Amino acid sequence: MKKSLKRIAGLLLTGCMTVALLAGCGSGSSGTTESSSSGDTELNVCLWDGMFSEDAINKFEEEEGCKVNVTYIDNTDTLISKLVEGGSDYDVCDIEAAYVKSFVDNGLIQKMDHSAITNEQYEEPSLLEKGPIGDENLDYVTPDSNAGFTGIIYNKETCPIEIKSFKDLADPALKGQIAMVNSTISLYGAALEALGYSASSTDEQQISEANDLLTDIKKNVKAFVGESCVSALVNGECSVALSWDYAVLCFDDEANWDKFDIAEIDSPYEEFIQYWGITSGCKKTELAQKFINYMISPEAVAMHIDEWGQIPMVQRQYIEEYLPEGFYDNPAITKYEELEKNSWLVAVDDEQINIMDKYYTFLMGGN
């Protein structure tokens, strides 16, 4: 799974997003290499790479007698650009929780008719109790996956220290042993929380202090990674990683169950959830609803898990029959249930990101 909140190189201004979207609605140009026919039996979707089963998509096509044209993305900047450039050429999109407010505020997605999404009844209740910031009542979106977390993963055999705090990553004993995601929000949010501040802080002095902590930690970082730290951990290049890869490690290889763990620290970890949205320019809302409804069905979610490895968003009693024997012995399932009780999640905010981007430039440019 690739659920990165990647560094935002200048989030588009809200007015520009709306104007550009409206202009794109009449253009018929998508700016993508994928097919984007407007036929009644074709659906154009924008999905995160590495989350959804192609077999599930193919089965939906067979059952509905339609064609699903998929454009894959690996960060939200790309998704925003495609929606702005393509306008009504996209019908369904996969949105990170931190960005839902921006999508709603700028009219990029339409209201969700939950009466048409009947498979929500099988989801974990916690996913439907409260929506993301900006759509707390789930008026516009519905979950498409279970929660994930950006945690400090460590190799229990080779990590030289006991990690009890995010600040411990600055310990000289870890020099050259850390891999870190290069997500602005993940980095600065974790540092702010470790200092006793809020991950949503827009106080420049607090963000400056977070940058000082990250600068100290950077002395021990072997590599900043855009997507996944799995290879650096598995091949022994690094013994520690700030990453969202724990579930991936556990689903990839049972041998990793005893080898890796997430450090229990004195501050919360970042939580992220993905949501389905139907674009405001979609003219095939009924087909879009059917697609979303199928993709969250127990059968389809089991296909996603089989292909990519995920924590099920569907309640155990409805999906277990589709999963391999012993699936729920995976330690990532219990670990994520624990992390959910002590985590933070923010909504992307232009003011905060502009300040963080300034310090991120200093952080990555310094020695």
pLDDT band at 16 (very low <50, low <70, confident <90, very high): very low
Structural domain including 234 reads 148-271+346-365
108 in the same domain as 51: yes
- Output the pLDDT for position 39: 55
Would 255 be classed as within a structural domain? Answer: yes
pLDDT higher than threshold 90 for residue 227: no
**Would you say how long the chain is, in residues?**
367
- Cα distances from 367 to residues 211, 220, 362, in angstroms, run 13, 11, 9
Would 340 be classed as within a structural domain? Answer: no
Residue type at 254 in one-letter notation: E
Contact assessment for residue 18 and residue 106, using Cβ atoms and an 8 Å cutoff:
yes
134 in the same domain as 75: yes
360 in the same domain as 235: yes
Average pLDDT score over residue span 179-183: 93
The residues near 43 (Cβ < 8 Å, ≥ 6 apart) are 66, 67, 68, 69, 91, 92, 284, 287, 288, 291
213 in the same domain as 102: no
267 in the same domain as 215: yes
Would 334 be classed as within a structural domain? Answer: no
- Output the pLDDT for position 367: 54
SS3 assignment, position 100 = helix
- Output the pLDDT for position 11: 34
134 in the same domain as 219: no
Cα–Cα distance, 178 to 285 (Å, whole number): 46
Average pLDDT score over residue span 348-367: 88
Cα torsion 144, 316, 319, 264 to 10°: value is 50
Would 21 be classed as within a structural domain? Answer: yes
| DSSP class of 262 | E
Q: Could you read off the pLDDT of 41-94 as tens digits, one per residue?
A: 899 999 988 889 999 999 999 999 999 999 998 777 777 777 777 556 899 999
Lowest mean pLDDT among 184-193, 240-249, 341-350: 341-350
Q: Could you read off the pLDDT of 24-40 as tens digits, one per residue?
A: 333 233 333 333 344 57
- Output the pLDDT for position 85: 73
Residue 168's closest CA among 264, 272, 256, 245? 264
Cα–Cα distance, 291 to 107 (Å, whole number): 21
pLDDT higher than threshold 50 for residue 2: no
Q: Is 40 exposed, middle or buried (0-12, 13-18, 19+ CB in 10 A)?
A: exposed
211 in the same domain as 116: no
- Cα distances from 287 to residues 39, 113, 137, in angstroms, run 11, 12, 23
Would 37 be classed as within a structural domain? Answer: yes
257 in the same domain as 194: yes
Per-position b or e across 305-319, b if 16+ CB within 10 A of its CB:
bbebbbbbbbeeebb
CATH of the domain at 308: 3.40.190.10
Beta strands in the chain, from DSSP E residues, in sequence order: 42-48, 67-73, 92-96, 141-143, 148-155, 178-181, 221-225, 240-243, 260-262, 269-272, 274-278, 343-344
Cα–Cα distance, 228 to 179 (Å, whole number): 9
- Output the pLDDT for position 81: 77
pLDDT higher than threshold 70 for residue 147: yes
Lowest mean pLDDT among 23-27, 68-72, 102-106, 179-183: 23-27
CB atoms within 10 A of CB 17: 20
162 in the same domain as 133: no
Residue type at 171 in one-letter notation: D
Residue 126 φ/ψ region, left for φ over 0, alpha for ψ in the -120 to 50 degree band, beta for the rest: alpha
353 in the same domain as 213: yes
162 in the same domain as 142: no
The residues near 195 (Cβ < 8 Å, ≥ 6 apart) are 206, 209, 210, 213
Would 33 be classed as within a structural domain? Answer: yes
pLDDT band at 309 (very low <50, low <70, confident <90, very high): confident
Count of structural domains, the chain: 2
The model scores a pTM over 0.85:
no
Average pLDDT score over residue span 293-309: 95
- Output the pLDDT for position 366: 62
Would 9 be classed as within a structural domain? Answer: no
Beta strands in 100-198, from DSSP E residues, in sequence order: 141-143, 148-155, 178-181
CB atoms within 10 A of CB 157: 10
Would 86 be classed as within a structural domain? Answer: yes
226 in the same domain as 353: yes
- Cα distances from 264 to residues 50, 170, 303, in angstroms, run 28, 16, 32
Contact assessment for residue 246 and residue 151, using Cβ atoms and an 8 Å cutoff:
yes
- Output the pLDDT for position 37: 41
